[in-house]
């Protein structure tokens, strides 16, 4: 049970937290079944080498698959795991890029992302949809056994499409509830004898110091096979603490840094917390901000301090086991506590951290901090923030724990900003889901209302559009981040830059037309390409915003007109036209 006491005057700290956690282990309501370990073949011919592991922390989400290395090459054959049918095909400049979903009689679905292309029979389905909708990006849902495949059939070629950072295959296995499962649970083998690394230990004050003292970290040394704090016995000026470890994994044959599989935390001989990545639900993939120390993750080059405890609102299922007292260690008895943290990868390679902790009221590990705030966001109620021309409503379930934030209003810093600037907390403060904010801008002429949008200032100091819809005089949108928000107008057309075409150019020797497009504020919405007013398929690489149109094989010799029309999210349009010779 958690109790909170709030006083009306919040100009200085008058907030008292009592964490009276239950003494028993937390029951698991969502268990992992035993998955079939035979029957599925490998998706590629080459041995499994990982560029990314299942469940590892990424910005804003857990990784829902394994990234299979393709030796920096594209065009490797990708196979169906068994007899089944194509249930879904996705084509997008972003995300998974070219993606393929195959469902099998046992109810599981394999997902392949970032593909270069599909087999001929699958490509035929995609082309029909693209030409029918006159769009490159399509999402195709197929009926069971409408498009059958056989085990070992080449269904695609590996690639680098979508939000890929290099050639590889993103590989998932999902259950009938569309939940991604660690593919290694299906019996796939890989050569891995490398132990995980543990770089540092972080301690968080809990109890009555939870909000009034800074966390503390210490480097580790590897001695006699175990990692230990350089500081030796750690005396802490708090009666209870929580822990996090900076840890990652490696495997032979690759230089990539991978996520870990399992972390067990012991107080003496008693296990008090275990985190294991067997399955990730898309409903909870955002909970990466709960599993890792997310501000550190963002600020320090994605260092992963995995928490060995659970925050108040961390309810992610099928990931936590043997949890006692939320993983918080009670040091109030004054004794030395022998703490052990065991980190394993899926192949069972084990690294161990050993530390001794003891309460000492005279210790100085946890430095006092002064909170400056005028709002407290709490996890057990709806949090309403009202200001002149601003409102926000944050459900408590979106908070990991109570947050102490400043809410300030500043005048616009220049004519491009069409409202006051409203700052609620810090841009590094992330929530578990979306909440609504509304801003009343300065008077905007009716003809420009459709161009208005809400801007969020990012953690790196840039700006990002959050869109927005009008509700009377207020512009309203949904967001998951705290920080600075204001209104701007987007009246600038998208950019169109020809790459290899120009008016009057002879394109007979060219196989394709290349263009680049972009937008400075609201973002690209749609584009359409034509030759002699006939729609043509033009593929888009989202990473470079480059468009590619293969010139039609039946294009007659002579003069032709190429036209590209582009629109952004606020309806601004741009067009490029060139007469060329073929």
> Which residues are within 8 A (CB) of 461 and not within 5 positions of it... i.e. 6 or more apart?
none
- For residue 14, being part of any structural domain is answered with no
Same structural domain for residues 299 and 354? yes
pLDDT of residue 133: 97
Calculated CA dihedral for residues 413, 418, 420, 426, nearest 10 degrees:
-80
Phi/psi of residue 135, nearest 5 degrees = -145, 145
Domain final residue pick, 152, 186, 220: 186
Same structural domain for residues 137 and 270? no
pLDDT of residue 13: 32
Is the separation of the CB atoms in 560 and 530 below 8 Å? no
- For residue 26, being part of any structural domain is answered with no
Same structural domain for residues 336 and 481? no
Distance, CA of 512 to CA of 550 (rounded, Å) = 4
Among residues 341, 336, 366, which one has the least CA distance to residue 351? 341
CATH code for position 559 = 2.60.40.1220
Calculated CA dihedral for residues 58, 60, 64, 65, nearest 10 degrees:
-30
- For residue 318, being part of any structural domain is answered with yes
Same structural domain for residues 499 and 475? no
The partner residues of 533 in beta bridges, in order of sequence, read none
Domain final residue pick, 359, 384, 411: 359
Mean pLDDT of 394-417: 96
Mean pLDDT of 304-327: 94
Among residues 387, 402, 372, which one has the least CA distance to residue 484? 387
**Residue 176 structural domain:** 50-186
Question: Is pLDDT above 50 for 125?
Answer: yes
Distance, CA of 302 to CA of 548 (rounded, Å) = 34
Indicate the average pLDDT of the chain: 93
Dihedral of alpha carbons 496, 497, 499, 504, sign: positive
Mean pLDDT of 27-46: 84
Specify the range with the lowest mean pLDDT, choosing from 14-28, 54-68, 499-513.
Answer: 14-28
Question: Is pLDDT above 50 for 307?
Answer: yes
Same structural domain for residues 418 and 516? no
Mean pLDDT of 245-274: 96
Contacts 24+ apart (CB under 8 A), 530-536: 530/561, 530/562, 530/563, 530/564, 530/565, 531/555, 531/560, 531/561, 531/562, 531/563, 532/560, 532/561, 533/561, 533/563, 535/131, 535/134
Among residues 496, 422, 485, which one has the least CA distance to residue 458? 485
**Which tokens belong to 335?**
């004794």
Question: Is pLDDT above 60 for 8?
Answer: no
Distance, CA of 136 to CA of 504 (rounded, Å) = 27
CATH code for position 471 = 2.60.220.30
pLDDT of residue 25: 37
Same structural domain for residues 353 and 231? yes
Distance, CA of 6 to CA of 260 (rounded, Å) = 39
Is 328 or 460 the better-scoring residue by pLDDT? Answer: 328
- For residue 39, being part of any structural domain is answered with no
Question: Is pLDDT above 90 for 329?
Answer: yes
**Which tokens belong to 416?**
């491009």
Question: Is pLDDT above 70 for 9?
Answer: no
- For residue 12, being part of any structural domain is answered with no
pLDDT band at residue 302 under the 50/70/90 scheme: low
Question: Is pLDDT above 50 for 3?
Answer: no
Domain final residue pick, 459, 489, 519: 489
pLDDT tens per residue, range 62-79:
999 999 999 999 999 999
Question: Is pLDDT above 50 for 248?
Answer: yes
Burial of 478 (0-12, 13-18, 19+ CB in 10 A): middle
DSSP state for residue 186 in the 8-state scheme: G
Report DSSP letters for 110-165, one per residue.
EEEEEESEE-HHHHHHHHHHHHHHT-S-EEEE--TTSSEE-TT-EEEE-B--SS-S
Same structural domain for residues 90 and 135? yes
pLDDT band at residue 10 under the 50/70/90 scheme: very low
pLDDT of residue 298: 87
Among residues 154, 355, 136, 379, which one has the least CA distance to residue 245? 355
Is the separation of the CB atoms in 238 and 207 below 8 Å? yes
Parallel, antiparallel, or unpaired: how do β-strands 234-236 and 350-359 relate?
Answer: parallel
Question: Is pLDDT above 60 for 280?
Answer: yes
- For residue 545, being part of any structural domain is answered with yes
- For residue 18, being part of any structural domain is answered with no
pLDDT of residue 16: 31
Is the separation of the CB atoms in 289 and 432 below 8 Å? yes
Dihedral of alpha carbons 122, 123, 126, 132, sign: negative
Same structural domain for residues 267 and 391? no
Question: Is pLDDT above 80 for 340?
Answer: yes
Q: What number of other Cβ atoms are within 10 A of residue 39's Cβ?
A: 14
Same structural domain for residues 425 and 340? no
Question: Is pLDDT above 80 for 386?
Answer: yes
**Which tokens belong to 539?**
């593929």
Residue with tokens 């530390």: 355
Q: Is 259 strand, coil or helix?
A: coil
Cα 57 to Cα 61, 301, 312, 331: the distances in Å are: 6, 12, 20, 30
pLDDT of residue 2: 29
pLDDT band at residue 353 under the 50/70/90 scheme: very high
Give the containing element (helix H, strand E) for 297: helix 294-299
Question: Is pLDDT above 70 for 22?
Answer: no
Parallel, antiparallel, or unpaired: how do β-strands 573-581 and 138-141 relate?
Answer: unpaired
Mean pLDDT of 281-309: 92
Q: Is 397 strand, coil or helix?
A: helix
How many domains would you assign to the chain?
4
Mean pLDDT of 551-556: 93
pLDDT band at residue 32 under the 50/70/90 scheme: confident
- For residue 342, being part of any structural domain is answered with yes
Question: Is pLDDT above 50 for 442?
Answer: yes
Same structural domain for residues 227 and 348? yes
Mean pLDDT of 352-356: 98
Same structural domain for residues 410 and 465? yes
CATH code for position 113 = 2.70.70.10
Same structural domain for residues 178 and 232? no
Distance, CA of 245 to CA of 57 (rounded, Å) = 14
Is the separation of the CB atoms in 280 and 64 below 8 Å? yes
């Amino acid at each position: 049970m958690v109790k909170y006491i709030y006083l009306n005057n919040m100009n200085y700290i008058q907030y008292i937290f009592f964490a009276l956690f239950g003494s028993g282990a937390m029951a698991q309501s969502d268990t992992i079944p035993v998955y079939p370990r035979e029957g599925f073949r490998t998706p590629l011919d080459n041995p499994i080498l990982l560029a990314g592991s299942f469940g590892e922390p990424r910005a804003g989400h857990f990784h829902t698959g394994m990234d299979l290395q393709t030796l920096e090459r594209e065009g490797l054959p990708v196979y169906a795991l068994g007899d089944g049918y194509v249930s879904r095909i996705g084509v997008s400049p972003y995300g998974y890029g070219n993606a393929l979903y195959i469902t099998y009689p046992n109810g599981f679905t394999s997902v392949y992302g970032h593909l270069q292309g599909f087999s001929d029979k699958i490509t035929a389905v995609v082309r029909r949809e693209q030409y029918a909708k006159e769009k490159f990006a399509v999402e195709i849902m197929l009926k069971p056994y409408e498009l059958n495949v056989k085990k070992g059939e080449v269904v695609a070629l590996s690639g680098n499409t979508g939000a890929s950072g290099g050639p590889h295959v993103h590989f998932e296995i999902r259950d009938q509830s569309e939940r991604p499962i660690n593919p290694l649970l299906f019996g796939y083998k890989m050569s891995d004898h490398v132990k995980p690394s543990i770089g540092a230990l972080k301690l968080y004050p809990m109890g009555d110091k939870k909000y009034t003292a800074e966390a503390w970290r210490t480097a580790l040394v590897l001695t006699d096979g175990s990692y230990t704090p350089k500081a030796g016995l750690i005396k802490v000026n708090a009666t209870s603490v929580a822990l996090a470890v900076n840890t990652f994994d490696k495997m032979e044959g690759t230089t990539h840094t991978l996520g870990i599989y399992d972390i067990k935390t012991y107080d003496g001989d008693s296990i008090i917390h275990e985190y294991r990545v067997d399955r990730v639900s898309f409903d909870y993939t955002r909970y990466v901000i709960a599993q890792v120390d997310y501000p550190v993750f963002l600020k320090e080059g994605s260092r992963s301090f995995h928490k060995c405890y659970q925050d108040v609102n961390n309810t992610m299922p099928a990931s936590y086991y043997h949890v006692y007292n939320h993983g918080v260690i009670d040091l109030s008895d004054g004794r030395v506590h022998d703490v052990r943290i065991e980190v394993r990868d899926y192949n069972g390679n084990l690294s161990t951290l050993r530390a001794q902790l003891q309460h000492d009221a005279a210790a100085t590990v946890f430095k006092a901090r002064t909170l400056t705030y005028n709002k407290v966001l709490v996890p057990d109620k709806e949090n309403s923030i009202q200001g002149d021309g601003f409102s926000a409503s944050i459900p408590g379930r979106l908070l990991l724990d109570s947050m102490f934030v400043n809410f300030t209003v500043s005048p616009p810093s220049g004519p491009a900003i069409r409202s006051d600037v409203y700052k609620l907390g810090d841009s590094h403060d992330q929530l578990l889901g979306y909440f609504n904010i509304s801003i009343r801008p300065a008077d905007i002429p009716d003809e420009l209302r459709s161009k208005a949008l809400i801007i969020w200032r990012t953690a790196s100091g840039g700006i990002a559009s959050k869109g927005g819809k009008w509700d009377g005089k207020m512009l309203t949108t949904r967001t998951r981040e705290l920080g600075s928000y204001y209104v701007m107008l987007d009246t600038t057309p998208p950019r169109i830059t020809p790459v290899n075409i120009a008016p009057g150019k002879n394109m007979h020797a060219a196989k394709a037309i290349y263009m680049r497009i972009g937008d400075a504020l609201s973002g690209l919405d749609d584009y359409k390409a034509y030759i002699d007013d006939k729609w043509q398929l033009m593929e888009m690489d989202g990473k470079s915003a480059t468009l590619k149109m293969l010139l039609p094989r039946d294009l007659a010799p002579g003069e032709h007109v190429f036209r590209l029309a582009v629109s952004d999210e606020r309806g601004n349009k741009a067009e490029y036209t060139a007469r060329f010779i073929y």
